[in-house]
Amino acid sequence: MNTDTLSLASHGPVIPVIVIQRLQDAVPLAKALVAGGVKVLEVTLRTPVALQAMEAMARAVPEAIVGAGTLRTVADVNAARDAGCQFGVSPGYTDAIGAACREQGLPLLPGVSTASEVMLANAAGYGFLKLFPAVAVGGVNLLKALAGPFPDVAFCPTGGISLETAPQFLSLANVKVCGGSWLTPQDAVDAGDWARITRLAAETHSLR
């Protein structure tokens, strides 16, 4: 499981955290990100059309690696798998979520925000974790501190990270990739400015 999720980091230094408000935006948005060299797409389960958007992206843009974010329940896990997602991301971790993902064969990037939560996820077999909400819980300083007792754990910090601050996170040895919502600004999506999103995606490759 961990190897599968850790491989996501090999595709580039940033995983966009995507909120889809309108279903018709899903496919052109995915195509715009892929055109900029960003293949791993986390679509959050925060809107009524999220699952349909994931399914549309996975079907119409096969070169994209579509994952479901904000997995909170076993039902979320099952729905994400049914929608064709290739990985899942949770804001926190529970054994029920872990078990459901294993049962479905869905690689999971579980969320943590404290040392105790790192230990809980680690005990369940997860060594690549999402630090969330990264900036709010301590950001770079917390990740540096966690490197001491957890030298074998890698992180994907997400939450509050910007184009300007991403290099600070990506410079850390225990950070393999970071998540960011700045790649898909809502005003660009609303305007259908896919060229802008492609440019933002392309910029991420110079961050590390």
DSSP for residue 8: G
Q: Is 63 one of the annotated active-site residues of the chain?
A: no
| Cβ atoms 47, 25 nearer than 8 A | no
Which one of 31, 42, 55, 176 is the catalytic residue? 42
Which one of 31, 39, 130, 176 is the catalytic residue? 130
Could you tell me which residues come within 8 angstroms of residue 2 by beta carbon, excluding any fewer than 6 positions away? 125, 126, 127, 128
Q: How far is CA 157 from CA 1, 167, 171, in A?
A: 19, 12, 12
Q: Is 39 one of the annotated active-site residues of the chain?
A: no
Residue located via tokens 């540096």: 144
Burial class (CB in 10 A: 0-12, 13-18, 19+), 105: exposed
Would you list the DSSP string of 62-82? TTSEEEEE---SHHHHHHHHH
DSSP for residue 155: E
Q: Let me know the angle formed at the C-alpha of 18 by 184 and 155, rounded to the nearest 5 degrees.
A: 105
> Catalytic site residues?
42, 130
